[in-house]
């Protein structure tokens, strides 16, 4: 038979495990992929929380994102703004991308 203390420890342990699993799932929702489905190379990529005035650093740094490839990005919360610069100097901006319901943004 279980003692009250053993039952209490098991109960608390199950609550802690549930919280850890929920926080892990929430953390995964913040990570998403940005894919290049167009015909031009992406030379710069910025991702920020939706509505933020600061784009932050270029996620690609000195690298490029060739057509057909993707890169992983992270923003806290469920909405991101995405700005890209192509090798032909065209700029594309996507506002309010829902990272919680969609984990892949394909840009043309």
CA 53/CA 85 separation, integer angstroms: 18
Statement: residue 26 has pLDDT above 60: no
8 Å CB contact between 54 and 48: yes
**pLDDT class of 98 with cuts at 50, 70, 90:** confident
Domain spans of the chain, in order of start: 31-107
Q: Does domain 31-107 have CATH number 2.30.110?
A: no
Q: What is the DSSP string of 54-100?
A: ---S-TTTT--B-TT-EEEEE-SSSEEEEEEEETTS-EEEEEEEETT
Statement: residue 30 has pLDDT above 50: yes
């Amino acid at each position: 038979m279980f003692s009250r203390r053993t039952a209490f420890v098991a109960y608390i342990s199950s609550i802690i495990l549930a919280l850890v699993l929920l926080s892990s799932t929430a953390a995964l929702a913040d990570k998403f992929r940005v894919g290049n489905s167009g015909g031009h190379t992406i030379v710069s990529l910025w991702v920020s929380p939706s509505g933020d005035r600061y784009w932050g650093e270029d996620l690609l740094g000195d690298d490029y994102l060739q057509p057909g490839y993707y890169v992983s990005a992270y923003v806290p919360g469920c909405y991101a703004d995405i700005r890209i610069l192509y090798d032909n100097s065209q700029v594309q901006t996507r506002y309010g991308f829902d990272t919680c319901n969609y984990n892949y943004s394909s840009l043309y």
